[in-house]
Amino acid sequence: MPSPFVIPIFIAHQGCPHQCLFCNQRSITGAAEGMVTGHEVRETILAQLAWPRRHPEAVVQVAFYGGSFTGLPMERQEELLGAAQPFLASGQVRELRLSTRPDYVTPQIAGFLREQGVGVVELGAQSLDDGVLAASGRGHTAAQVRTAVACLKEAGIRVGLQLMLGLPDDTTPTAMASGRRAAALDPDLVRLYPCLVISGSPLAELYRQGRYQPMSLPRAVALAGRLWRIFEAQGIPVVRMGLQPSPSLEKTVLAGPYHPAFGELVLSRLFFNQVRAALSVRSPYQSHRLCLAKADESIYRGSGNANVKRLVALGLLDGVETVFSASQPRRTFRLLAAES
Ligand code: SF4
């Protein structure tokens, strides 16, 4: 089954009275001023449904991104979710998804969302370390994340957890512990975002004063890879690593481990480590064939062919023929002794 066809609707800063240190929400989403109306939701869905789709059989979801949806006044939530109801009833849209803060979820809210056809709620957990949450001005605790996950699951809603790496006071041990706690909650999906210094955010001022130092890109890639492995070991999909690149985002990133293909850098590093480990223990007296998925060629090679250059420099590709095959499953490889 292909990935869902997602119709995104951005509701930046609507319903959010908080100011997390890292957030300048309008910069992150690229959303314009003004309140999204039910009419605009309907028009957006109609316009997107009218476009030809590469996979017409894909499940269609309408996703309210950007703000804290369940912090909106109830009449606004009803207006926005209500605009999608005719499409749910007709079967053109399978389900709704939205993002919100953990402390804005109660059993009543979860029940209401389920009634409205919401199938997935992504919680901006950011961390499950209370010290990091406090230092980042999040205004909620790790316990509230656990409670929100339990409420949503109880209502039959799938749960996504968004985690941020490199927040103030975050360290490798706190990030790893946070990842393990998040995995223990058994979410249906995870997103990992490195913390960036965004113009106009309180963090930008701390950075300017020298009181906050963002992670380097290599460190963020390495840490995201270690977290990815925690979730992979439990079969929890990490559906995104790094913010969606956009011209408005790139204009406002002052510092931090930004890369438009951050997720690919992480996967590439993980794959490189696996391939290197396998090549390191093969017999140097025997020729081998390294079979990789055709679709994995770019993550195998790495940016600028860097991974292959490293393997060559280490002498690990001597006597190895590399083959890219359409039948090899993604993110797997085989190292076969070649016929002599
Ligand atoms: S990150 Fe979310 S909760 Fe924090 S200020 Fe931005 S919109 Fe509000």
Burial of 141 (0-12, 13-18, 19+ CB in 10 A): middle
Q: What is the pLDDT of residue 90?
A: 97
Q: Is the dihedral of CA 42, 43, 46, 51 positive or negative?
A: negative
The confidence band for 177, taking pLDDT boundaries of 50, 70 and 90, is very high
**What predicted TM-score, i.e. pTM, was given to this entire model?**
0.91
pLDDT in tens, 193-246: 999 999 999 999 999 999 999 999 999 999 999 999 999 999 999 999 999 888
* Ligand 1 pocket: which of 10, 13, 14, 16 to mutate (most atoms within 8 A of CB): 16
Q: Which atom of ligand 1 is nearest to the CA of 19?
A: 5
Map out the domains of the chain as residue ranges.
Answer: 5-260, 282-337
Close Cβ partners of 211 (under 8 Å, ≥ 6 residues apart): none
Q: What is the pLDDT of residue 135?
A: 97
* Cross-strand partners of 240: 191
Cα–Cα distance for residue pair 35/306, rounded to 1 Å: 46
The answer on pLDDT for 32 being more than 60 is no
- Nearest residue (by CA) to ligand 1, atom 4, is 20
Q: Which atom of ligand 1 is nearest to the CA of 28?
A: 6
Burial 253-269 (b: 16+ CB within 10 A, else e): bbbbbbbeebbbbbbbb
What integer best gives the mean pLDDT of the chain?
A: 93
Question: What's domain 5-260's architecture?
Answer: Alpha-Beta Barrel (3.20)
Residues with a CB atom less than 6 Å from ligand 1:
13, 16, 18-20, 23, 25, 67-68, 101, 124
**The two three-digit tokens of residue 319, written as one number:** 């006597």
Mean pLDDT in residue range 49-66: 91
